[in-house]
Amino acid sequence: MRRTTTRTLTAAAIVAATVAGCSSADTKNDYVDTVNGIQESALEAFNQAANSTPANTRAMVAQLEAGEAALADAVAELEGVDVPEEVEDGHPELVAGIDDLRALFAQTANDVDKAEGSEAFSAVTALASEGQVIGTEIDRAIDRINDDLGAN
């Protein structure tokens, strides 16, 4: 999960920077710059939550809740972005993918909180595999945005 999500958020930043170089429209550049900033903040907060090793179930829940909060902030910020006409179809897909990831973190925190023994580890393992599927959806949304902006 960490690898996919990190790759996804990083890929968005790299590709968006490429779009900025290809586009002369201020609206597109503002969009790209704004989305890059949101992605970078989300990635930093996500990494803080995902890269620590919790000592117990309570700490694991706190870590998952921190990741969920960072992703919720990213969703809220993305929903407030001034979206160029060219990406009006792809942008909501990006927001939905990140919101799906946020919901997965929230559900996993709930599952871990209720887990007994090794069930907590199983919940986190499920997070990893389900997160990979969501990461692929986010990658597709990013590809669509880039196609719509003429970056590919």
Average pLDDT over residues 36-64: 77
Average pLDDT over residues 72-84: 93
Average pLDDT over residues 10-36: 61
Residue 106: its pLDDT value, please? 95
Q: What is the pLDDT of residues 96-150, one digit of tens each?
A: 999 999 999 999 999 999 988 788 888 888 888 888 898 889 889 988 998 888 8
Domain locations in the chain as residue ranges? 2-148
- The Cα 96–Cα 69 span in angstroms is 15
Look up the pTM and report it: 0.78
* Angle ∠(148,36,22) on CA atoms, nearest 5: 45
Residues 6 or more apart whose Cβ sits within 8 Å of residue 15: 142, 146, 151
Residue 25: its pLDDT value, please? 64
